[in-house]
Every structure is written in structure tokens, then in C-alpha cells.
């Protein structure tokens, strides 16, 4: 993982405020870089640094509590788990802890019975891939208990039982807490990012690069093909190579609908429409998805 490349991107950022940095979720990395180069760090960035530092301290305490409550395997994904791959955990923003468990409903009942509370009231909605977030009273972190991995519906990861069987100890070092196999976690991050928008945020590129550090590229390519996400993976990893590599040529997405990544700015309206068209067209081609993709792409061109 080339962290110097992140500094170069931040040094060349066009933004004069923190709006774009927060949109890309690299504001904590920017604060560190600005401080190192003698640039003033705004009060709101300093406040975000303190809040994240508190969450980093609270996370292992909360995980130990959860380990003693939840029966069955507990797999920690995204957020704080990926933060352990950063030079400092407090450089990767996160607001909750994501747990992947075999029986989400049972685990939710167990934590509520142990004193956790709904973070959104009793009528909070059930999400596509996790239940209503819960929170220990006065904790700075919410808990999201996942019954499935977040990914576009046309990607087919292996059965949950396979993922649990391949899980490895979490880098958090808490007994009873595991995480996904590195190749699985890397592809999950790429798939999850694509579900929210193709190459939309710089933090997604950084997460994928950090999680894949040390994982053979051939293994990632092979598993991506098994999951039906070869095009998504190739587009993501080539963008990461170009942004974080040494003088590598820019890919077509970075020249067209993902130009905002290199300049660390927010997408303009044209780029948002084009990216939405790409998201449709990158799915397995069926008459309906192809027509939808062409329709959105035509709007972008018009």
C-alpha cells in the first residue's frame, strides 16, 4: 500500500474547504497531512479527529462485551476492521461497528436482552443487509448486525456458511471476534462500494488497496470471477493502481466519469449521470439492464 500516493493526491486537491474531503471520507487523512506540512487544521477537522479517536478506544471494549453476549461466530467487517490496515486506526472514519453473524435475528435479541437499545427507536426499518442498528447506552458507536453481505444484487458471493468457515481472527485482537478471509473482505469492499456508486469515493479505493495488500492478484481475480464481479473488480483495482501507483497511465473511467477522484472533488451532475449509466451497464447484460443503462447514459450525453 502506497500511502505516499495518498499524500500526493491530498496535496493536489482543488478544494478550499472540507466539504469534498468529507464526501470522499479522507478528511482525517487530510488533517494529518496538513498538520505535517504546516497547514492550519480547521476546528471542525480537529473535532472529527477527536471523535474518531474516542471511537477507536471504545471499539475493542464494545467488541469484548459483544463477544460475551452473542452466541455463535462473530465476523467483523468494514469500518474499524479496515482501519487496522491504516498507518493509524484513527485515520479511517467510522461511526458504527458492522457484525456479520449466522443468525442476525437471534443475535439482535441477545444484545437487546443484555441492555443494548435500538439506535433509531423501536420502529427503525430493517435494511437490505442488516437489522436496525443498536447501541450500548452512552456509547459513541452503533452496532449493525448483518444477515448478509452488502453488494449489488447481481453479484453472487458464496453461501454464508462458506464465508464463516473461511473466516480468520480479527486484526482487532479480541477473543471470539473474527473477520473475513482477506480475499473475501477485499472483494466485499469493492462490491459494497459499487452498490453505492461506481468509483464514487476515494476512501473506497483506499480501503480496497489497503485490504488487498499482500493478497496475490491472481487469487483476487479468480475469486472475483467466481462471484460474478470480474468487471467490477477489474475497474476498481485498475483505478486503484492508477491513482496510487507510480506514474501509471490513467484508466478510461478516471478520464471520463471518475475524474473527481484524482482531484479529490465532488462529482458534477454530468459525471453523476454517466456513473449511474455505467453502474447499470456493468451488471450482467439482460434486455432490461441494457435498456436501463442506455437510457441513463443517453441522459448524461444529452
- What are the residue ranges spanned by the domains of the chain? 42-255, 268-302
Query: Residue 87's pLDDT is what?
Result: 94
Smallest Cα–Cα separation from 85: which of 168, 207, 215?
207
Task: Please determine, for residue 114, whether its predicted confidence score (pLDDT) is greater than 90.
Answer: yes
In this prediction, residue 255 has a pLDDT band, given cuts at 50, 70 and 90, of: confident
pLDDT band at residue 149, thresholds of 50, 70 and 90?
confident
pTM: 0.86
Express each pLDDT in 200-247 by its tens digit. Answer: 899 999 999 999 999 999 999 999 999 989 988 999 999 999 999 866
When the pLDDT of each residue in the chain is averaged and rounded to a whole number, the result is 86
Q: How confident is the model at residue 286 (pLDDT cuts 50, 70, 90)?
A: very low
Band (285; pLDDT cuts 50, 70, 90): very low
Integer CA distances (angstroms), 174 to 59, 62, 177, 179, in order: 10, 10, 6, 11
* Angle in degrees, 0-180, between the axes of helices 182-196 and 217-226, rounded to the nearest 10: 60
Q: Which of 51, 72, 54, 80 has the alpha carbon at shortest distance from 144?
A: 80
293 pLDDT more than 60: no
Q: Is the pLDDT of residue 122 over 70?
A: no
Closest C-alpha among 10, 142, 162 to residue 66: 142
Q: Decide: helix, strand or coil at residue 120.
A: coil
180 pLDDT above the threshold of 60:
yes
SS3 177: strand
Q: What is the mean pLDDT of residues 259-284?
A: 71
Parallel/antiparallel/unpaired status of strands 168-169 and 177-179: antiparallel
The C-alpha atoms of residue 174 and residue 176 are separated, in whole angstroms, by: 6
- Per-residue HEC secondary structure of the chain comes to CCHHHHHHHHHCCCCCCCHHHHHCCCHHHHHHHHHHCCCCCCHHHHHHHHHHHHHHHHHHHHHHHHHCCCCCCEEEECHHHHHCCCCCHHHCCCCEEEEECCCHHHHHHHHHHCCCEECCCCCCCCCCCECCCEECCCCCCEEEEECCCCCCCCCCCCCHHHHHHHCEECCCCCCCEEECCHHHHHHHHHHHHHHHCCCCCHHHHHHHHHHHCCCCHHHHHHHHHHCCCHHHHHHHHHHHHHHHCCCCCCCHHHHCCCCCCCCCCCCCHHHHHHHHHHHHHHCCCCHHHHHHHHHHHHHHHC
Q: What is the pLDDT of residues 57-88, one digit of tens each?
A: 999 999 999 999 999 899 999 999 999 999 99
Q: Is the pLDDT of residue 299 over 70?
A: no
Residue 143: predicted pLDDT: 93
How do 117-118 and 134-135 pair as beta strands? antiparallel
Say which CATH architecture domain 42-255 belongs to.
Answer: 2-Layer Sandwich (3.30)
Q: Is 74 within 8 Å of 67 (Cβ atoms)? A: yes
Higher-confidence residue of 47 and 295: namely 47
**pLDDT of amino acid 300:** 55
pLDDT at residue 287 in the model: 44
Would you state the pLDDT for residue 288? 44
For residues 3-17, give the mean pLDDT.
Answer: 81
Q: Residue 53 in contact with residue 59, Cβ under 8 Å?
A: no
How far, in Å, CA of 140 to CA of 200, rounded? Answer: 27
Q: Phi, psi (5° rounding) for residue 2?
A: -100, 90
* pLDDT at residue 297 is higher than 70: no
Higher pLDDT, 128 or 213: 213
Cell 480547521 belongs to 42
pLDDT grade for 301, boundaries at 50, 70 and 90: low
Amino acid at each position: 500500500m502506497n500511502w505516499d500516493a495518498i499524500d500526493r493526491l491530498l496535496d493536489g486537491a482543488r478544494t478550499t474547504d472540507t466539504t469534498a474531503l468529507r464526501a470522499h471520507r479522507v478528511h482525517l487523512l487530510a488533517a494529518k497531512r496538513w498538520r505535517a506540512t504546516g497547514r492550519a487544521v480547521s476546528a471542525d477537522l480537529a473535532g472529527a479527529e477527536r471523535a474518531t479517536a474516542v471511537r477507536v478506544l471504545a471499539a475493542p471494549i464494545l467488541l469484548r462485551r459483544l463477544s460475551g453476549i452473542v452466541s455463535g461466530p462473530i465476523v467483523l467487517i468494514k469500518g474499524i476492521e479496515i482501519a487496522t490496515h491504516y498507518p493509524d486506526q484513527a485515520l479511517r472514519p467510522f461511526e458504527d461497528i458492522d457484525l456479520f453473524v449466522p443468525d442476525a435475528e437471534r443475535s439482535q435479541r441477545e444484545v437487546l436482552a443484555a441492555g443494548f437499545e435500538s439506535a433509531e427507536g423501536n420502529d427503525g426499518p430493517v435494511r437490505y443487509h442488516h437489522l436496525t442498528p443498536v447501541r450500548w447506552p452512552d456509547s459513541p458507536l452503533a452496532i449493525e448486525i448483518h444477515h448478509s453481505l452488502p453488494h449489488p444484487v447481481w453479484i453472487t458471493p458464496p453461501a454464508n456458511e462458506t464465508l464463516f468457515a473461511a473466516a480468520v481472527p480479527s486484526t482487532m485482537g479480541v477473543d471470539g471476534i473474527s473477520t473475513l478471509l482477506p480475499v473475501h473482505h477485499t472483494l466485499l469492499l469493492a462490491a459494497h462500494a459499487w452498490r453505492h456508486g461506481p468509483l464514487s469515493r476515494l476512501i473506497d479505493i483506499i480501503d480496497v488497496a489497503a485490504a488487498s495488500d499482500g493478497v496475490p492478484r491472481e487469487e483476487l481475480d479468480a475469486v472475483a470471477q467466481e462471484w460474478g464481479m470480474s468487471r467490477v473488480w477489474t475497474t476498481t483495482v485498475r483505478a486503484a493502481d492508477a491513482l496510487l501507483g507510480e506514474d501509471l497511465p490513467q484508466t478510461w473511467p478516471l478520464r471520463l466519469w471518475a475524474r473527481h477522484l484524482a482531484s479529490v472533488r465532488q462529482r458534477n451532475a454530468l459525471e453523476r449521470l454517466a456513473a449511474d449509466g455505467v453502474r447499470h451497464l456493468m451488471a450482467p447484460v439482460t434486455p432490461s439492464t441494457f435498456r436501463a443503462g442506455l437510457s441513463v447514459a443517453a441522459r448524461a450525453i444529452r
